[in-house]
Chains A and B, each alone.
Chain A
């Protein structure tokens, strides 16, 4: 990030090469439109480039912070599309995502293992429970919207989401402990 703040373009290239694929995959999953997804990814990396000085270490590790920024932008796009308000936002004004911090042992697992673990853990959840988490994450739905979409009681949806994420956290912690052992 220091190099990015110093306007070192090669730092942006390295960052892009490392994160473009997961960021694009996420944005495409949310937006459902390849052309719009590329536009949003372009926005995300240029926002980071132009506002690098506003990011600092206290906001936590870069990767989840960048994912959060990308998700927020993609969900903004989705909401605008839904509201049919396709007015273009000023690309250079945005809300910085709030601080993100990894639980210490979990941060030790590398990205590839974490990705594998996340997919495996979510894959083991019963379909409706996984669907509830996906609707919240990829479609930005609230508890009551998910309950309506799945025709399930509100309390059930809340429990599914909470328990699913607790299970994910535990799975990542177990993977970390196994990696250290």
Chain B
């Protein structure tokens, strides 16, 4: 078995999930026996790796998310645990066991029922997932409406800097947030993403988030009023590598001054 000194160099890669093969197996053996050197060493490496979170381009979730989380959490806090319902008379189990053992037909029926139940559960999960997706989209549209209807709403046009590109329309409200949308946006390669930037009067551009047009060329992005737009001179959209960039890496494709 490798000693701890040899494994020390692997702590960061292990915390990242990049370690593999023999080195991974060796380190996991040390951790499984609570090695007094490797265990705290890896815990510190996990802390270091967690700091890489700050490399993510800054983005804000929609305000609707907070509401959804709190409304789902709050009933749970007051709900009483459901009493266990596992009590079944022993004679019922005995009869059921006897029937299962004696009747192949029953087994067949049970299996078929299980399959049908599993299929129904799958359908239910799919429907639930689609419902959540619709809920999120609805929240975005509600937010977009609130931004457009806000008393301090101000329209901004983001003009294309390349030929054959449509114009983006933006509406921003200091109270309600920012809406950016366009139609007939061409598809970009899957290795890239569109990234929206707030260009301040002084200093570096600030990422407002990433988005992609859907298959019909519709693009929409809404965000909460996290940024003080009074300090912003213009909005810009650039094409960036998938995952976004900390700062723009290419000339903006759309630019709109905030007048």
Residues of A within 8 A of B (CB): 7, 9, 12-13, 16-17, 20-26, 28-29, 32, 34-35, 37-39, 41-42, 45-46, 49-50, 60-61, 63-65, 67-68, 70-71, 75, 87-88, 97-103, 106, 114-115, 118-119, 122-123, 133-134, 136-138, 140-144, 146, 158, 161-162, 165-166, 168-169, 172
Contact = CB atoms under 8 A, between A and B. Distances in A.
A64 to B, nearest CB: 3
Given A137-B49, A142-B20, A49 B76 contact: yes
A20 B43 CA distance: 24
Nearest to A75: B17
Given A68-B46, A101-B47, A165-B16, 20 more contacts: A9-B77, A16-B66, A20-B65, A21-B61, A28-B56, A32-B243, A41-B61, A46-B72, A64-B47, A67-B50, A71-B50, A99-B46, A102-B47, A114-B51, A119-B246, A134-B55, A136-B18, A142-B18, A161-B16, A162-B12
Contacts of A68: 46, 49-50
Contacts of B132: 39
Given A20-B66, A35-B133, A102-B44, A141 B57 contact: no
Given A118-B52, A137-B52, A162-B9, A98 B246 contact: no
Given A12-B70, A98-B46, A102-B44, A67 B9 contact: no
Given A24-B61, A38-B62, A162-B12, A64 B46 contact: yes
Contacts of B58: 21, 25
A46 B73 contact: yes
Contacts of A162: 9, 12-13
B76 to A, nearest CB: 7
B108 interface: no
Contacts of B86: none
B202 to A, nearest CB: 17
B129 interface: yes
Interface in B73-126: 73-74, 76-77, 125
Contact of B77 (A7, A39, A70): A7
A45 B77 CA distance: 14
A100 B15 CA distance: 10
B47 A115 contact: no
Contacts of A12: 69-70, 73
B59 interface: yes
A26 B18 contact: no
Interface of B: 9, 12-13, 16-20, 39-40, 42-62, 65-66, 68-70, 72-74, 76-77, 125, 128-129, 132-133, 136-137, 193, 209-211, 221, 226, 242-244, 246
A60 B128 CA distance: 35
B108 to A, nearest CB: 26
B64 to A, nearest CB: 8
7 contacts: A24-B60, A25-B59, A29-B244, A37-B61, A50-B76, A138-B55, A161-B13
Contact of B69 (A34, A42, A98, A101): A42
A28 B244 CA distance: 10
Nearest to B222: A34
Contact of B59 (A24, A42, A143): A24
A24 B16 CA distance: 19
B52 A13 contact: no
A161 B244 contact: no
Given A50-B76, A142-B17, A168 B56 contact: no
Nearest to A64: B50
A111 to B, nearest CB: 8
B65 A41 contact: yes
